[in-house]
Structure 1
Amino acid sequence: MRYLARSADGTVLLGDDEGFVPLAAADSSLQTMGDALRRAPEGLPAPGDARAARIPAEDITFGLPLAPVKKLWGIGLNYADHAADLHEVRPEEPASFVKPPSTATGPGGPIRLPDPEITNRVTAEAELGVVMGRTFSYVDEDEFDDVVAGFVPIIDMTAEDVLEKNPRFLTRAKSFDTFLVAGPWIAVPDSPTEFLDSVAVRTVVNDEVIAENTLEGMLFEPPELVSFHSQVMTFEPGDVISTGTPGAGVIEPGDSVRAEVDPVGVLESEVR
């Protein structure tokens, strides 16, 4: 498996389990994250063949890998157990919403909570993000491997008290600055569809596992989500569908939140 990342200074990186190299050192025709995402469905070069030595992941300060941020789709109530916990009716179609690019921040965040007079109950939710690698629309589920670049851990936030006032306030409840953390990298497997069989997602707050599940617990799995939303809009490289959470935890200033998305990676952020 390959990994695509961006360092804190903006350098685009290509990696594997042994470390990372500058993307251009592996292939001079790949200069941007967009170049790499478009190449990903075909296969990325090997970091070991690059004209640079690998740098271990622990020696890198990672930035937001999605920059520049494009379309961010979220999926609500996509795990049956989570919908039951909230006493919500299971949707017959994906319950989706869009978050603005200004919500996105990189590993470590921090997640900045709004003024308590606006919202005093914010929850954090670990999710698997699907990153697109092609410009496409109207694709079938069996074309998933042809259009997807890879997967990224995501921490999504919701101002629950805002949402409880009226379900039509969902966009506002999801759209505060820093209400989506992504990273530290995009995992690029050889076969995205087969890779999904091994994925598990855990929401962790202050080292306490709040909720966990595998994708078998989803109502709508990623290939269906991509196909469904491609009937609505044209996707472009770097667009993301965050596929829903197995469960959310209330967060307060000083807390630490983790999205553990096996085997994609672990994403952590502080709360302020």
Structure 2
Amino acid sequence: MQYLARTADGRALLGDDEGYVPLSAAAPNLETVADALPLAAARDLPDVADAPAERIDPDHVRFGPPLAEFGTLWGIGLNYEDHAGDLGEDRPEEPASFMKPSTAVTGPGGPIRLPPADRTDRVTAEAELAVVVGRECTDLEDGSEAVDDVIAGYLPVIDMTAEDILQRNPRFLTRAKSFDSFLVVGPAIAVPEEPLDLEELTVRTVVDDEVAAENEIRNMLFPPREIVSFHSRVKTLEPGDLFSTGTPGAEPIDPGDHVRAEVEGIGSVDAPVVR
């Protein structure tokens, strides 16, 4: 596995399981992580071991969001049948997608800032696997190899929902999902060297070190590759677009809590909750 990341002050990094080097040291023609996304989708990133630089231990890096700017932020609701049942919702026949604004994004470590209680007094946190697009594409066929050829990589995210707003009216979904800091992105985009068998992996929502919900990606109603191909027939997908593929379960959060999203084989991201 290779990784694309950025420091908190914006320096682009390329890494593997042994550490990181400056991206420009590995490939002088690549200045930003965004520049590297097409190579990641082609599984043609340079080898970290070939870079004329010493590896940096990730424990000594303060990470920011892996992209300075993401593209379209897609979310997928009710994508695990168990979670849909918990919410009393019927199984959707097509991906239940929505969009979030760029201002919802915050980097690893957050914090997650709850809105004033008079705007919402029940916010939930949801761990999810996110997919990052690496190449422009449109009209992809389900299950085609072309889908793997446009996926740059994966990262863990924490998604938030103002559930009391959503419960008042399902048409309020965009507002319930759009408060500042309502999408905590992981520290690095995991770039597999070969197309990844996601079905075996587990996603966990963890609050204060207690597992609140977990499920295997195999139990998604719409797998990640199908989500990408489906939405490529809605709009042209562009490098940096992100799909949060749904949560195994949501957990109410309050100031003082600490939330972590764990995606087996991909990574984790955590953030404290404040108001």
Q: Same fold (TM over 0.5)?
A: yes
Match in the other structure for 2:208: 206
Provide, for residues 196-226 of structure 1, a one-character-per-residue CA deviation record: whole Å limited to 9, x for no partner.
Answer: 1332100000111011011111000011100
Match in the other structure for 2:180: 177
Match in the other structure for 2:114: 113
TM-align CA RMSD = 0.8
Q: Which moved more, 1:222-231 or 1:195-204?
A: 195-204
CA distance in 2, matches of 1:32, 1:59: 20
Q: What SS class does the counterpart of residue 110 from structure 2 fall into?
A: strand
CA distance in 1, matches of 2:82, 2:204: 13
Q: CA contact under 8 A between 1:198 and 1:263: conserved in structure 2?
A: no
CA distance in 2, matches of 1:197, 1:96: 21
Q: What SS class does the counterpart of residue 108 from structure 1 fall into?
A: coil
Match in the other structure for 1:18: 18
CA distance in 2, matches of 1:5, 1:265: 12
Matches within 5 A, 1:191-230: 191-192=194-195, 194-230=196-232
CA distance in 2, matches of 1:203, 1:246: 8
Which of 247, 250, 255 is residue 249 of structure 2 equivalent to? 247
Q: Offset at 1:48?
A: 1.2
Match in the other structure for 1:29: 29
Q: Offset at 1:69?
A: 2.1
Q: Which residue identity lines up with residue 39 of structure 2 in the other structure? A: R
Match in the other structure for 2:239: 237
Q: Offset at 1:87?
A: 1.2
CA distance in 1, matches of 2:102, 2:208: 27
Q: Which residue identity lines up with residue 125 of structure 1 in the other structure? A: E
CA distance in 2, matches of 1:197, 1:23: 30
CA distance in 2, matches of 1:217, 1:52: 42
Q: CA contact under 8 A between 2:200 and 2:218: conserved in structure 1?
A: no
CA distance in 2, matches of 1:261, 1:218: 14
Match in the other structure for 1:257: 259
Q: Which moved more, 1:122-131 or 1:82-91?
A: 82-91
TM-score (norm 1): 0.98
CA distance in 2, matches of 1:223, 1:86: 25
CA distance in 1, matches of 2:230, 2:197: 20
Q: What SS class does the counterpart of residue 174 from structure 2 fall into?
A: helix
Which of 157, 161, 164 is residue 161 of structure 1 equivalent to? 164
Q: Which residue identity lines up with residue 188 of structure 2 in the other structure? A: W
Q: What SS class does the counterpart of residue 40 from structure 1 fall into?
A: helix
Q: What SS class does the counterpart of residue 62 from structure 1 fall into?
A: coil
Q: CA contact under 8 A between 2:105 and 2:181: conserved in structure 1?
A: yes
Q: Offset at 1:234?
A: 0.9
Q: CA contact under 8 A between 2:256 and 2:272: conserved in structure 1?
A: yes
Q: CA contact under 8 A between 2:129 and 2:245: conserved in structure 1?
A: yes
4+ runs of 1 displaced by more than 6 Å?
Answer: none
CA distance in 2, matches of 1:14, 1:66: 13
Match in the other structure for 2:40: 40
CA distance in 1, matches of 2:26, 2:197: 24
Percent identity, aligned pairs only, is 62
Q: CA contact under 8 A between 1:145 and 1:191: conserved in structure 2?
A: no
Q: CA contact under 8 A between 2:70 and 2:242: conserved in structure 1?
A: no
CA distance in 2, matches of 1:88, 1:198: 26
Q: Which residue identity lines up with residue 214 of structure 1 in the other structure? A: E
TM-score (norm 2): 0.97
Q: Offset at 1:144?
A: 1.6
Q: Offset at 1:67?
A: 1.8
How many equivalent pairs are there?
A: 271
| Structure 2 gaps, min length 5 | none
1:96 aligns with 2:97: yes
